Homo-oligomer: A and B are copies of this chain.
Amino acid sequence: MPVGTQGTVKAVSPRELHELHAQIILGNTYHLYVRPGLDVIRKLGGLHKFMGWDGPILTDSGGFQVFSLAKLRKITPEGVHFQNHLDGAPCFIGPETSMEIQHTLGSDIVMAFDECPPHPCTHEEAAKSLELTLGWERRSLDWWAGRNEGGERPLLFGIVQGSSYPDLREESARSLVAMGWDGYAVGGVSVGEPEPEMMAAVEHAVPHLPADRPRYAMGLGTPPQMVEMVARGIDMFDCVLPTRVARNGTAFTAAGSLNLKNACFTLDEGPIEEGCGCYACANFARAYVRHLVKAEEILGLRLITLHNLHFYLGLMAKARAALEAGTFAAFRSEFVGGYKPHREST
């Protein structure tokens, strides 16, 4: 899922998202709640119509952003009181508020409201946080009970927490499955922990999640991390990397990431990635993209953003095809083995 934090996938139009074959995008509840606010989105007919995107939208619960962006937080069993990061105005989000916001946005996949504990934290802290989160998730689910009787309700996803503690990850997963969600996310990963710990968090959760429901690893990751997560049973991802690093001149390729600001690309007539069919690679040389990035031209980051999203979505399409063809093991070892984190040159 390309990430559309503030009602737009950064630098990309809905038409371009369709051309990239994006199946679904993510919207950030916290950001949209703070700006433009629900009055605007309600008046404009919901988030889909507001942003001109007619495909599915998954919205997060706002929890993670409250904990990472807002100031002066006060956590109570009811929810979280905070000052927003824009103008410091006092705000409150609890499980019921989060559901109401996501309902107003018109989300297709609603995430439970959870607390994301900091990394590292003690077992005691993680256990206490999990207890709070499970209560909030229960209330998130209950909010929807009996609603939308006549119509379709969105899909509801619970979020496995438990920090780096296997027993808590298992407890979290089992408790959520007992509640019965449409899908299950693994949260509290990619929060600063070493990669083996991130993989372990997923490994401790996945075996306890039903195989016939989507599993979603939140906020991940690098291309090899995603393939490794697929190998561990994850079906869905959202990631800001393809759009974020593009704005800094970094492009993803199957051989690794390239910093297109590097002088070695000054006269390079080749496309960002040989054999790539995206608009950027079909029409422009690395030398041109480098020039645009160096000259701080918006088209430069646009072209790299398009390429990076094409690359990420294409990587997942290849993973799906390999799974269906029964060749995933070979695909995984070839891709992960051939990927250099910082390729930096040709």
Tally A residues with Cβ within 8 Å of B: 38
A283 close to B44 (CB less than 8 A):
no
Interface stretch, picked from A33-41, A171-179, A308-316, is A33-41
B294 close to A35 (CB less than 8 A):
yes
A110 within 8 A of B: no
A299 close to B50 (CB less than 8 A):
no
- Chain B residues with CB under 8 A of A52: 283-284, 288
A35 close to B285 (CB less than 8 A):
no
A295 close to B6 (CB less than 8 A):
yes
A11 within 8 A of B: yes
- Specify how many copies of this chain sit in the oligomer: 2
A302 close to B36 (CB less than 8 A):
no
A297 close to B267 (CB less than 8 A):
no
A14 within 8 A of B: yes
- Chain B residues with CB under 8 A of A7: 288, 291-292, 295, 297
Residue of B nearest to A269 (CB): B44
- Chain B residues with CB under 8 A of A283: 14, 52
Residue of B nearest to A305 (CB): B298
Distance between Cα atoms of A331 and B12 in the complex (Å): 37
A15 within 8 A of B: yes
With beta carbons under 8 angstroms apart, the residue of B35, B44, B297, B302 that contacts A6 is B297
A279 within 8 A of B: yes
Q: Which of A20-46 contact B (CB under 8 A)?
A: 35-36, 39-40, 43-44
A299 close to B8 (CB less than 8 A):
yes
Q: Which 5 A-B pairs rank lowest in CB-CB distance, beginning with the nearest? A: A11-B298, A36-B291, A8-B299, A52-B283, A6-B295
